Amino acid sequence: MPDAKNSSEKLDLHWKNEAPDLGIASEGIFCKDMDDIINRISQVKDTVKEINLDNQSSFKEIPSILAECKQLEVLNISHTKVKEIPGFLSSLPALRTLSCCCNELSSFPLEIFNAEKLENLHLRINKEWTVPDSVPSMPNLKTLAFDIYSTVALPANLGSMKSLEELTFALKFEDGTAPELPDSFSKHPALKKMSVTDPFHKTEKTFNLEKAAKILSTCPNMESLRLSGVAVGDGHKNISTLKGLKELELRHLPITGNIFDSISGLSKLERLCLLGSQFKINEIPNIFMNMVDLQEFSFAGNMVVDIPPSIYNLSKLKILELGSTGISSIDEKIGGLQSLDKLHVYDNLLEKLPKAIFTLKNLSVLNIEENVFRPNELTAVSENLKALAANGQKIEFLCEGQGHRQMVKRLRSLKDTAVTDPSAYAKHCLNAVNENPHALKYVDTLKLSNTPYYPELCIAAVRKTCFALETIDPKSFGKGVYYRICMEAARSSEIGRVFKLIKTDLLTDSEYIQICIEAALHNHYPDFLNNFNTEEFKKRFSRDVYDHICWAAVLHYPPTVSKMINPTEAVRRLVEKSKAAPST
């Protein structure tokens, strides 16, 4: 951002690094050193109200000049090189918002919690920190967000912050359990919103939703709950006790049971968002007659085929999203949704739209991308939209990708697979896997048990991408089949990125070694050898086996030597020889 956009009240010194591979240019102001930053602050210290230093790598300490910024209300020092927080920061008289997600902070910055006038705090909890059992109560704090990089218990007295309205946990560690909501939030007088998210959700992190919901149900102003990427088991059943909820957003939650059983009694909902195939729902129940205030319903990732009739009676509904569900028709009753502003019915099996859609006077967005509309049907829709535009109603129309992934969608929408002939079902599955290898996760393995079809599907999937290893169910094969599938995956140049997905306990020593060698001879990933630098591997195999795998890896792709433990002299010579060889 150029200096011209700064003023005496706002100093924006944020910086974003370029990412050429993604076509992203650098953006912001690059400060060469601390003196440069201090000079810029000193020029506006008497008037500045907001300072943004996000990702400014030259910012390595909080300078004393900030103590002179008596008007400062907002300070962002996240993603900088700051190692400690000086006491004067909490004494700034006007400071109301502080973002302090700094990975080089050496310990929990307890001094921040002495800032009694602070209203908004965003803090990173780093690895290996010791988090105190209690923190000062911060009487004016309204929003508190933690980026959590370690499995720690939160201060037991967090709930003593009696003005707190919004609490957010972002889980950014790889393995472990999400922190529990402290008991001190019971009967909290101000809490309105809570969010627990795992932005990466590569591994399941368990969150004790049963306990959290019991506590939140005692909070009189609780109205919004957002959960994403955490495993809650059957704890979702306690959501039904949160009778005052106006907003419920659940994304990618591994659960047991039917989530709609926990939602049907929430009559005050205004926004309901359920996204992700982990819900394993095959039907949306007809429960919306009691949700008369619902303004947004988003549902995606589960094949439900039909839209329940009660949805068409939601007179206040403004946003309807039904994506990746397999629905093939929309009823003319949709004309009753006269408040509807945005209709997203992407990635389904729709071939045409009901005429009633063109009677929705408030409609501004119509998204039918990735369905199976024929050109003549798209033309008819476009003509209807042009007629509306001529009368002053302009509607954004999204219709790209017709026919995309239709084989996967047809597989997912199949009903009564139990009565389908296994060979016919396997053909549907193969069409879907050839279209998208990850469609393997939608295959009914029980239907194909005791047949050669499922192993053949797995081999077809890993031939297209070794990443399909993640979706394979080894329990469905006989002995030796998993080995053949892994050997096929090992022939991919990407195998180094996903080798850890191989379930080594299902392989004999001989099978595992052969797969390792095959992968080493195809790998193009520098960190490949990290897969074998583990205590588990060391206990199972000798150093000779390790050296054999490393030799193959380095011979094929010399950069892998960087991760070899104590490279042998022969391997070192091999690397030097590869460096000296002329490039082709």
440 and 415 share a domain?
yes
pLDDT of residue 418: 64
pLDDT 10s digits, 360-378? 999 999 999 999 999 999 9
pTM (predicted TM-score):
0.80
Is residue 427 in some structural domain? yes
pLDDT of 532 above 50: yes
Decide: 295 and 268 in contact? Cβ < 8 Å: no
- Domain range for 510: 499-584
Is residue 469 in some structural domain? yes
Buried b vs exposed e over 174-204: b needs ≥16 C-beta within 10 Å? eeeebbebbebbeebebbbbbbbbbeebeeb
Quick one: pLDDT band at residue 467, thresholds 50, 70, 90?
A: very high
483 and 503 share a domain?
no
504 and 432 share a domain?
no
H or E segment and range at residue 385: helix 375-390
| Mean pLDDT rounded to a whole number for the chain | 91
442 and 510 share a domain?
no
pLDDT of residue 1: 39
505 and 580 share a domain?
yes
Mean pLDDT in residue range 384-399:
96
Quick one: pLDDT band at residue 584, thresholds 50, 70, 90?
A: very low
pLDDT 10s digits, 242-283? 999 999 999 998 888 889 999 999 999 999 999 987 788 888
pLDDT of residue 201: 66
Is residue 581 in some structural domain? yes
485 and 503 share a domain?
no
Is residue 412 in some structural domain? yes
Last residue of a domain, one of 430, 454, 489: 489
pLDDT of 4 above 50: no
Buried b vs exposed e over 118-142: b needs ≥16 C-beta within 10 Å? bbbbbbbbbeebebeeebbbbebbb
Mean pLDDT in residue range 104-115:
90
Is residue 220 in some structural domain? no
Quick one: pLDDT band at residue 417, thresholds 50, 70, 90?
A: low
427 and 479 share a domain?
yes
End-to-end CA distance of the chain: give it in Å, rounded. 43
pLDDT of 544 above 50: yes
pLDDT 10s digits, 161-211? 999 999 999 999 888 899 999 999 999 999 999 999 998 766 788 999 999
Is residue 426 in some structural domain? yes
Quick one: pLDDT band at residue 393, thresholds 50, 70, 90?
A: very high
pLDDT of residue 18: 67
pLDDT 10s digits, 435-446? 999 999 889 898
pLDDT of 295 above 90: yes
Q: Structurally, how many domains does the chain consist of?
A: 2
pLDDT of residue 20: 62
Percent of the chain topping pLDDT 70 = 96
503 and 584 share a domain?
yes
Last residue of a domain, one of 489, 516, 546: 489
Percent of the chain topping pLDDT 90 = 73
User: 493: which residues sit within 8 A by CB, 6+ positions away?
Assistant: 522, 523, 524
Is residue 435 in some structural domain? yes
Output DSSP code: residue 528.
Answer: G
Distance CA 11, CA 46 (A): 12
Is residue 269 in some structural domain? no
CB atoms within 10 A of CB 314: 22
483 and 504 share a domain?
no
Decide: 235 and 209 in contact? Cβ < 8 Å: yes
CB atoms within 10 A of CB 234: 12
pLDDT of residue 44: 95
* 3 state SS of 199: coil
530 and 581 share a domain?
yes
Quick one: pLDDT band at residue 238, thresholds 50, 70, 90?
A: very high
Max Cα separation, the chain?
A: 80
572 and 505 share a domain?
yes
pLDDT 10s digits, 425-465? 999 999 999 999 999 988 989 888 888 999 999 999 999 99
Last residue of a domain, one of 489, 516, 541: 489
481 and 515 share a domain?
no
pLDDT of residue 280: 80
